[in-house]
Structure 1
Amino acid sequence: MEGKRSTALDREPVESSPSAAEVGLAAVRKGLSRIDIESMSDHERLGLVTELERLKGAASAAQARAVHAVRVAREAGGSSDALRSVGSEVALARCESPTLGDRFVGLSRALLEELPETVARLEAGDVVERHAVEITRETAVLSREDRAEVDRRLGPVMGSLSPRALGRAARRVAAELDAASVVRRMEAAVSSRRVTVRPAPDGMAYLTVLGPLRDIVGAYAALQARARSVVGGQCDDEPGDGRGVGAVTADTALRLMAGLAPGQVQPVEVQLVITDRALLGTGDPDADVMAPARIPGHGAVPSPVARSWVREAGEGSVWLRRLYTSPDGCDLVAMDSRRRRFSGLLRRMLVLRDDVCTTPWCDAPIVQADHTHPVRAGGATSFAGGNGKCARCNGVKEAPGWRVHVVRGSPLTLDTTTPSGHHHSSTSPPLLGWGTDPPHPSPLERRLEALLAAA
């Protein structure tokens, strides 16, 4: 009887020693820190910067070859789950989000199979990864033959173009070779219209609307016209109040999208995590009243700003919910549930504790509360047994070869093992975010320290 063919996914991940290539590259990386920059002239230093930039391109080409080989090997195994997890494994290896990992897998395939000139320029250090991303994206709808023609035409000049200029050139050649495909791509892009939000520095955020060019330009023109009228004192329903055109444009857009009248408070819950000392001046007198607050998924907010938000919210629109922490003030206390799913306060506690997806370097908002140890294997629906995940990472961890287990409960530290046997660790942040100062000792601890010192 013929035995079952064994693949890499049929076996448990195997630990292995670093290869000779890994050891050699590690030596080169460590050697960079030993370069005597101080003894160089400015000419030599900038020459070093140029050569290091070329090294980035060559490194990207080597990464692409390695990733392409992994994908081909997984395809030979014939497992769709395995192929789905390749992007996540690549993301962990490159310390980036799964979305960017998927993009690099696609980039590697396009480069190695259809864009030989671009690969050659990368290996020579004439271009960097951003160039490869641009030409790959702008030729994605072309046939293999047309894509190769764009690559052939732009190969000799791509080293003298910026990434954006190379993207524009590739777009022009693509429109010349196959205008119909470019038109179909533009028509299909309409279905991807969406609104996204991401944090920005200094307590701000970006609200991005992706839509058809003519609609976006028209909406922007209308906002600008309204803002200029307000600033010019031509609108009786809204005073300028010394704001510039940019500020009025942003205020008008946010107000219209929220469906609010001028001056109306936005009826949306924003979870603001802050100590009682920083908010009310009560609690431990030795605690810092300037300890920053945190908005889960978006980052830290200075305590004066958080207090002003609470004051400006208006009476009756602020609710306080007490969060009980561990003695060191960093972690939330445990809370169990008999339910199969994480819901209610338990799910909210997971989001407050983990902040973003617990997969290393993902940083996507938490969408699903996940059992670290699967329920089918006896995992409990508990605060200690749960963690926050984005939809992508929660699905990928169910593929063959993936394992996640709790290394430590406080702070929650998870170890993720990939099908290739690599381990990646992630730790939930302190309750108020990374960079939180360690809590001051309690009065009892200070007295004990004094007694020990006197003894």
Structure 2
Amino acid sequence: MDAISLQDSRSAAAPADVVASLRASLATLDAGAVTDHERVALVAELERLKAAAAACQARATDALRFSREAVAPHDVTRSVGSEVALARREAPSRGDRFVGLARVLVHEMPCLMAALTDGTTTEWAAVEVVRETATLTREDRAEVDRRIADALHRLSARAAGRAAARVAAELDAASVVRRMEAAVRSRRVSVRPAPDGMAYLTVLGPLHEIVGAHAALLRRARSVVGGQCEDEAPDGRGVGAVSADTALRLLSGRTHGQVQPLEVQLVMTDRSFLGTGDADRPLDEPARLPGHGSVPAPVARAWVRGAGPASVWLRRLYTTPDGRDLVAMDSRRRTFLGGLRRMLVLRDDVCTTPFCDAPIVQADHAHPAHDGGPTSAWNGNGKCLRCNLVKEAPGWCVTVTRGSPHELVTRTPAGHSYRSLAPPLLGWGSEPHPPPGADGRGGSALERRIDWLFATAA
């Protein structure tokens, strides 16, 4: 009777509650009380559990897509992708890919889905296989699924992708050629942050052109390092450093020795920049490069010094007394322009949709302007293009719940809510400081509000 009651209780529980109980039970496992053999076995089983969870996620995602298509077929792709991305705590573009992956796994590649459910392959391997068969017909995709099924348990993610690509090229070479032609049309340049104040500038282009450009850079760099170029000395640099310097100089249209002619925004306190201001603030409080993260104060000062006095402008930013948030601004216009738009970009840093780290492209009204929403710092927020379009789909709602720090609540069509908070002006990890007059030392209200200097290095 007890066993029957337990089974009935579990069947009545919501699937999410059952999984939550399983997740909580993992914390009770004592890996310190077993042998090394058992610890390795535990790691292996947990990896299989992760794969099985990915398969369950795929089934739930495809069921969500199917349910939503019956209600609003024209809004499914982006809306469901964004909703799934929020649930997975990932960027919206990855949510789109997972919706497509789930559809293929559930309906077109049963062997791959079975291996994922059993934990004998990984979610990343499934992604590789599905990507390499993206241009095939349903029948050819099923044939790829059948032919690589027995080998999946012994293949890495990349090896599984290569196996799928080999079979795909055999079954339908024309589709592979069309895919390569389509890839050429998607050529682009992108930038993303890297550790230690660096960044990656990526050029995606046709293979032969990229290889040729790389060879030309290396040839020039080797000539410089070897002392064979009269117009440029190595100055202690290696081939890699000279290659990077040459590429950046050519891409930005500079001559050798010329400073960067483009605007770079740098936010730092007057204390860390000039050594003046509130003596309680640290001299080496990091600066922030909007959209890219923190920069150590000595590095930021070196950037400004290297730009030269004729190419640096200072702009005061008026903040709350503790220096965390910018003071609000309003506009009578419908669109966010000038100083108000600049303020939103500095305040929000990246797209305000939770877990979306895309650069801000559009300044958006949380409460739509066509419904009476004001053009103000309170109602404004930075969005990437995709997230700004998605929030206009049926069932989506963005609400401002607090002005300082600026907080938004995003509600999805399924009824889930996600909160996003604007970072401190100097980035996450910085601490608010009391205003200079808070301990009785005095100071005007203006002095207590002017906490930061805005440095533009050109």
CA distance in 1, matches of 2:103, 2:73: 18
Superposition pairs of residues 14-163 of structure 1, within 5 angstroms: 20-163=14-157
CA distance in 2, matches of 1:415, 1:408: 10
CA distance in 1, matches of 2:407, 2:104: 37
Corresponding position of 1:203:
197
Q: Unaligned 5+ residue runs, structure 2?
A: 1-11, 443-458
Q: Is residue 2:274 matched to residue 1:295?
A: no
Q: Which of 240, 249, 267 matches 1:255? A: 249
SS at match of 2:312: coil
SS at match of 2:276: coil
CA distance in 2, matches of 1:19, 1:345: 53
Q: Is residue 2:227 matched to residue 1:220?
A: no
Corresponding position of 1:394:
388
Shift of 1:79: 3.4
Shift of the 19–380 alpha-carbon distance from structure 1 to 2, 3 Å rule, reads farther
What is the percentage of aligned positions where both structures have the same residue?
67
CA deviations over 1:43-80 (Å, ceiling 9, x no partner)? 21121111111111100000000000011111122431
Corresponding position of 1:382:
376
Q: Which AA in structure 2 matches 1:301?
A: V
* TM-score with structure 2 setting the length: 0.92
CA deviations over 1:183-222 (Å, ceiling 9, x no partner)? 1111121100000000000000000000000000011111
SS at match of 2:314: coil
Shift of 1:31: 1.4
Q: Unaligned 5+ residue runs, structure 1?
A: 1-17, 449-455
CA distance in 2, matches of 1:134, 1:279: 48
Checking the alignment, whether the CA contact within 8 Å between 2:321 and 2:434 is kept in structure 1 is: no
CA distance in 2, matches of 1:41, 1:446: 62
Checking the alignment, whether the CA contact within 8 Å between 2:52 and 2:118 is kept in structure 1 is: yes
Shift of 1:27: 1.2
Q: Which AA in structure 2 matches 1:20?
A: A
SS at match of 1:274: strand
Checking the alignment, whether the CA contact within 8 Å between 1:287 and 1:440 is kept in structure 2 is: no
CA distance in 2, matches of 1:345, 1:280: 24
Corresponding position of 1:451:
none
Q: Which AA in structure 2 matches 1:348?
A: R
CA distance in 2, matches of 1:412, 1:315: 35
CA distance in 2, matches of 1:227, 1:447: 57
Q: Which AA in structure 1 matches 2:213?
A: A
CA distance in 1, matches of 2:112, 2:319: 54
CA distance in 2, matches of 1:438, 1:339: 33
CA distance in 2, matches of 1:339, 1:192: 36
Corresponding position of 1:352:
346
Shift of the 383–441 alpha-carbon distance from structure 1 to 2, 3 Å rule, reads closer
SS at match of 2:288: strand
Corresponding position of 1:305:
299
RMSD across aligned positions (CA): 1.3
Shift of 1:19: 5.4
CA distance in 2, matches of 1:24, 1:71: 22
Structure with bigger strand share is 2
CA distance in 1, matches of 2:375, 2:312: 31
Q: Which of 415, 420, 444 matches 2:414? A: 420
* TM-score with structure 1 setting the length: 0.93
SS at match of 2:428: coil
Checking the alignment, whether the CA contact within 8 Å between 1:356 and 1:366 is kept in structure 2 is: yes
